Amino acid sequence: MHSTFLFIKLRKFIELFIYHSKPCYMNYLQRLENWGEAHHPKYMDILRIAFGIFLCIKGIEFANNTALLTETLQNRMANNSFLFSLMIQYIIFGHIIGGFLIAVGLLTRLACLLQIPILIGALIFMNYHVMQYFSQFFLALLTLVLLCYFMVIGSGPWSLDKALFKDGTAKS
């Protein structure tokens, strides 16, 4: 009898959570997106463009120094050449393509979302000398903060998103 009552309460809780939480989360995401679009100063677009170019340059730098990147990853992880190859490709193309998308303001939130795991991995797995002046740790941390900022705030008024998609529909 007691277990039946507990089961019914648990079922009601799950139904309430599943059926009523999705609109709440979607409503929250829509409000966050609308807030980001409404409170995006135009001068932040200049920072977004410069930040996207910086990420593209870092991707090209990683592509030119693939051996160093492979050595760094091998020192931190177990030996698996397929995993290294996959991660290196993700890092290089993620920075180049993501940086380009951020710079032009096209799918900025998605590009930032795809960049965040790379930067979290860089902060966790890389060996930094934190006490050095403007070390790589602080650069990676600043990059992660900017990615999170642009993921929330969006692409802004000077972007391809704004030019191509007005009021949620594509321009003809």
Asked whether residue 2 carries a pLDDT value surpassing 70, the answer given is no
Give the span between the Cα atoms of 53 and 73, in whole angstroms: 25
- When pLDDT is averaged across residues 118-140 and rounded to a whole number, the result is 72
Please say if the pLDDT value at position 106 is more than 70: yes
DSSP β-bridge partners for residue 89: none
Q: What is the mean pLDDT of residues 124-151?
A: 76
What DSSP element (H or E) covers 165? strand 165-166
Task: Compute the mean pLDDT over every residue in the chain, rounded to the nearest whole number.
Answer: 77
The model carries a pTM of: 0.72
What is the C-alpha to C-alpha distance for residues 43 and 146, in angstroms, rounded to an integer? 14
Q: What is the pLDDT of residues 5-61, one digit of tens each?
A: 655 665 665 555 555 545 555 566 677 777 766 767 778 889 999 999 999 999 999
Instruction: Supply angle C-alpha 28, 33, 165, rounded to 5.
Output: 135
The enclosing H or E element of 2 equals helix 2-38
> Is the model's pLDDT at 129 over the cut of 80?
no
Would you call 16 exposed, middle or buried from its count of C-beta atoms within 10 A (0-12, 13-18, 19+)? exposed
132 or 117: which carries more pLDDT confidence?
117
Q: How many residues does the chain have?
A: 172
**Under 8 Å between Cβ of 70 and 84:** yes
| Cα–Cα distance, 41 to 150 (Å, whole number) | 12
